[in-house]
Amino acid sequence: MARGQNTRVNNQSSGNRKQQNTTRFRPYMRVKLVVFCIIVVLAIFVLVGRLIHITSTSEAKYKKQVLSQQKYDSATLPYKRGDILDRNGSTLAYSEKVYNVILDTKVMMDDEANYNPTLKALDSCFDVDIDKIKAYVSENPSSQYYKVAKQVTYQEKTAYEAYVEQQEELAKAEAEAKDVKNTGAHIKGIWFEEEYIRKYPYSTLASDVLGFTGKDNAGQFGLEEYYNDVLNGTTGREYGYLNDDSELQRTIKPADNGHSIVSTLDLNIQRIVETVIDNYNEELRDNFRAGDGAENMAVIVMDVNNGSVLAMATNKGFDCSNPYDLSAFYSDEEVEAMQERQVDSDTGKEPTEETRNTISEYSYVLNQRWRNFCLSDTYEPGSVAKPFTVAMCLEEGVVHEGDTWLCEGTLYRGGWPITCHEKSGHGIVGLSYSIQESCNVAMMYMSEKLGAEKFAQYQNAFGFGLKSNIDLTGEARTASLIHTIDTMGVSELATSSFGQGFQVSMIQMAASFSSLVNGGYLYQPQMVRQILDENGNVVKNIEPLLIKQTVSASTSEKIVQYCNATVVDGTGEKAKPAGYAIGGKTGTSETIPRGNREYVVSFMGYAPAEDPQVLVYVVIDRPNVEDQSLSTKYACWMARDIFADMLPYMNIFMTEELTEEEQQAINDKQQAIKDDYQNKRDEAAANSEPSNDTTP
């Protein structure tokens, strides 16, 4: 018992000591707690005061900083440039949405765990220089906008998004397996900026007409430039701002997309024309001199009854999607040399001391490829102008059916001997025969009866010396290239009567000649027939514009009759397609300086012969042959081949029975097309990967 009592006494003594100790320290702890609370309250008051000061004095400044940190929520919304369509709705040019990959290094570097996964995502999903990106991040850890990849496709963007989703799933699975908190894949700071790029599904097709786009959707050359304001839209804006409660709000002003244009071009006719040009350019390539089949080969196909251009092409051309690429025409070494050489900006030749405007040969060559010969270059039309001279004289009544002239090969006018192309002379020549056999002497006699004043007036009426005002950029001015009443002397009148001594453009000749065979109606050449909104609704119809009546219907009928005879039994015989009666006129003109043995040859034709609907104008500038003066046949053959493929497509039926030779030629051509198609199929099959599909 004594021991138990002692134990209880000791325990009581120990409890008393603990209670005494607790009582001893309690006042000190209370003081410490009070002091701590006072400090916390004072800190809160200081913070509140500071916030009030900042709000009252620097609110705008800090709001801007907050917004700047949300930069990726503020962006320009690009508009979609309108499409260019052919007359049947086929797309010739369109805009495709692409994406620029933007890296916000500040967001990425908020957590060190983000660094490697983010860079790995970029390296895995995009074609980027990862070392370059690492260097940029190291030097600019606070950057919020770094374009790491440009114009990636929608497929690449979705592949990246799938990659991120996959990494998120892996991170989640790993966290569950380790029974830890899931912190995600740590791919941070990557976002996408939208823009559009211009696409041309047919590459080089109709490049002379379409042109291309440069920076900021600016159209260059062709329809892209002429209709730039129509095709372009207005950018939108997505941006953020702080409301009265300092909450970030987002506002979107959508972009207005551009309008589309429906051109007068027919894709199939354009393809026919370009195929024929390519064939003859290759046939004559390196024939007499190194280079293309001619300095220029060009074709215009026009609806004679309204001025609509169905096709327009040259032998130059370029890839509309990559207009600066010359690799298809020159080696890398040649391009490099051109970039170093300086040339005269007008002639492309080595500059002289007098030359002031010089550019690199590379720039000159590019501009020559982009230049549309059908609009921008001028030349003397030659004998294609003779039907105009006859039409003027018929209209004024100074010549009549039954009139004849004696051609002895040379006529002296203005003190100069002016020769006919038939130097021995044609003998007695009548109206129809003068066109059919292209007699210069007969034209000179006729123009003398008409007189210089009337001749100049009619040239103006036909549009020579005036811009045609076609809706394409780059049309040449020819006012200074036509003789006026004051400058047209005796010899000038004589040479002008058969197409020498003045210059025109192809589009002028095509439009004015159409008026000769359509009843006398001159239409403004037209490239676009409709403007559509982004939903395909018609915004504007562009109707054919009748300018004037150049000659009477009776005169037009006679010109058709004479030109038909030219193809049946005259200088245009080689232009006749099998099974079709057409009309037309050949042309040959000597270039300046005279005596250089360089010529421009041409053929102007129309079909059907009795009811002209469509016109084909072929011009070959300095063909690559030894004797250019005798090369009109190439222009005739090109027109023949175009008519042969185009007229059936246009549902213009044959008007004549085929000879056995013509039928055999058609059969051979069709067989060649079939063989070529089969060869391409066989080649494609041989180059394709073998299939593992064993399904019978």
Reading phi first (left if > 0) and then psi (alpha if -120 to 50, else beta), residue 651 is in left
Contact (CB, 8 A) for 302 and 523: no
At 633, is the pLDDT very low, low, confident or very high (cuts 50, 70, 90)?
very high
| Beta-bridge partners for 250 | 240
Give per-residue pLDDT as tens, 651-664.
999 988 888 888 88
For the chain, the structural domain boundaries read 75-263, 382-530+540-649
How many helices (H) and strands (E) are present in the chain, helices listed first? 21, 25
Which distant-in-sequence residues (6+ apart) come within 8 Å of 641 by Cβ?
276, 279, 577
How much is the pLDDT for 377? Answer: 96
The 8-class DSSP code of residue 234 comes to B
Reply yes or no on whether the pLDDT at 506 is more than 60.
yes
How much is the pLDDT for 569? Answer: 93
How much is the pLDDT for 71? Answer: 46
Give per-residue pLDDT as tens, 469-495.
999 999 999 999 999 999 999 999 999
Rounded Cα distance between 490 and 292, Å, is 39
The token pair that represents 405 in the structure block:
């002239």
Of the options 2.40.50.140, 1.10.579.10, 3.40.710.10, 3.60.150.10, the CATH number for the domain spanning 382-530+540-649: 3.40.710.10
At 72, is the pLDDT very low, low, confident or very high (cuts 50, 70, 90)?
very low
Rounded Cα distance between 684 and 147, Å, is 39
Please name which of 570, 510, 567 lies closest in space to residue 388, comparing C-alpha atoms. 510
Average pLDDT of span 169-184 = 89
Comparing 213-222, 243-252, 672-681, the range with the smallest average pLDDT is: 243-252
Residue bearing tokens 């024309």: 273
At 693, is the pLDDT very low, low, confident or very high (cuts 50, 70, 90)?
very low
Average pLDDT of span 314-334 = 92
Reply yes or no on whether the pLDDT at 584 is more than 50.
yes
Percent of the chain predicted with pLDDT > 90: 71
Reply yes or no on whether the pLDDT at 9 is more than 50.
no
Average pLDDT of span 192-208 = 94
Please name which of 305, 304, 231 lies closest in space to residue 471, comparing C-alpha atoms. 231
604 or 17, higher pLDDT: 604
At 695, is the pLDDT very low, low, confident or very high (cuts 50, 70, 90)?
very low
Rounded Cα distance between 192 and 149, Å, is 10
DSSP 3-state of 602: strand
Average pLDDT of span 250-269 = 93
The token pair that represents 205 in the structure block:
């097709």
Please name which of 441, 437, 451 lies closest in space to residue 488, comparing C-alpha atoms. 451
Calculate the CA 244 to chain-centre distance: 50
Give per-residue pLDDT as tens, 422-453.
999 999 999 999 999 999 999 999 999 999 99
Mapping DSSP onto H, E and C, the string for 332-381 reads HHHHHHHHHCEEECCCCCCCCCCCCCEEEHHHHHHHHHHCCHHHHCCECC
| Beta-bridge partners for 495 | none
Average pLDDT of span 609-625 = 97
The CATH number of 75-263 is: 3.90.1310.10
Average pLDDT of span 558-576 = 96
Segment (H or E) for 267: helix 267-284
The token pair that represents 135 in the structure block:
């260097």
Mean residue pLDDT of the chain comes to 89
Rounded Cα distance between 211 and 224, Å, is 6
DSSP 3-state of 538: strand
Give per-residue pLDDT as tens, 225-237.
999 999 999 988 8
At 243, is the pLDDT very low, low, confident or very high (cuts 50, 70, 90)?
low
Reply yes or no on whether the pLDDT at 17 is more than 60.
no
Segment (H or E) for 93: strand 91-103
How much is the pLDDT for 29? Answer: 75
At 346, is the pLDDT very low, low, confident or very high (cuts 50, 70, 90)?
confident
Reply yes or no on whether the pLDDT at 148 is more than 80.
yes
Distances (CA, A) of 628 to 590, 602, 603, 633: 9, 12, 15, 10
Say which amino acid occupies 458.
Y
Contact (CB, 8 A) for 540 and 530: yes
At 696, is the pLDDT very low, low, confident or very high (cuts 50, 70, 90)?
very low
Please name which of 496, 494, 387 lies closest in space to residue 436, comparing C-alpha atoms. 387
